[in-house]
Amino acid sequence: MAEPTKNAIEMVGTALEMEEKGKSFYDEALSKCDNVFGKDIFSKLRSDEDVHIERIKEIYKSLTEGKGWTDIWKSRDVDETGLRDIFRKLAKNHGKQIDMSTDDIDALKVGMDFEQKSVEFYEKHLEIAEDDQEKEFVRKMVEEERGHYSALADMKFYIDNPEAWFEEKGRSLLDGA
């Protein structure tokens, strides 16, 4: 087992701060959102941030205690079907009719920006990561943050242009493809 690098410890510390800010943002967005599907999405994203926070705390503890990278973080998993299920329910129950407030739409935009910055942060660290387990962790975080971004972008696309959304994506969600 390799000694944890200063870069790895700093990355994990920064990642923890980012994920905690993300959870706070989704908490606030959830408390202000009037739309049931916006609430579902913000709630799911907040839950995913909880998983990320717990993973990162476990890694941070191991690294700062000099134990190096472990794979214990793998026991904390994000339910990747949850966001797709929200869209299936949305499309099935509301079709092309959904109303969201300007504040809810702004929250989607802020969330998209936040998730994109998270992806960029992890991708940048992936370039300098040295340990194989570190690389695996960072790749997983990139994948999950991209999924969050994609869900928010899909929701915004749906709200902005429901007809185009249904033409492009709705049919496959409704048939389960």
At the fourth CATH level, which superfamily is domain 6-175? Answer: Ferritin, core subunit, four-helix bundle (1.20.1260.10)
Q: Where are the domains of the chain?
A: 6-175
pLDDT of residue 177: 47
Q: For 94-142, what is each residue's pLDDT tens digit?
A: 665 666 677 878 888 999 999 999 999 999 999 999 899 999 999 999 9
> Distance between CA atoms of 18 and 22, rounded to whole angstroms?
6
Task: Reply yes or no on whether the pLDDT at 55 is more than 60.
Answer: yes
Q: For 8-46, what is each residue's pLDDT tens digit?
A: 999 999 999 999 999 999 999 999 888 777 888 899 999
> Distance between CA atoms of 162 and 105, rounded to whole angstroms?
14
pLDDT of residue 154: 84
Q: pTM value?
A: 0.85
Q: For 59-91, what is each residue's pLDDT tens digit?
A: 999 999 988 898 888 888 777 766 767 766 766
What is the chain's mean pLDDT, rounded? 85
> Distance between CA atoms of 170 and 111, rounded to whole angstroms?
22
At residue 148 the predicted structure's pLDDT band, cuts being 50, 70 and 90, is very high
Looking up tokens 């476990």 gives: 58
Closest CA to 43 of 145, 122, 148: 148
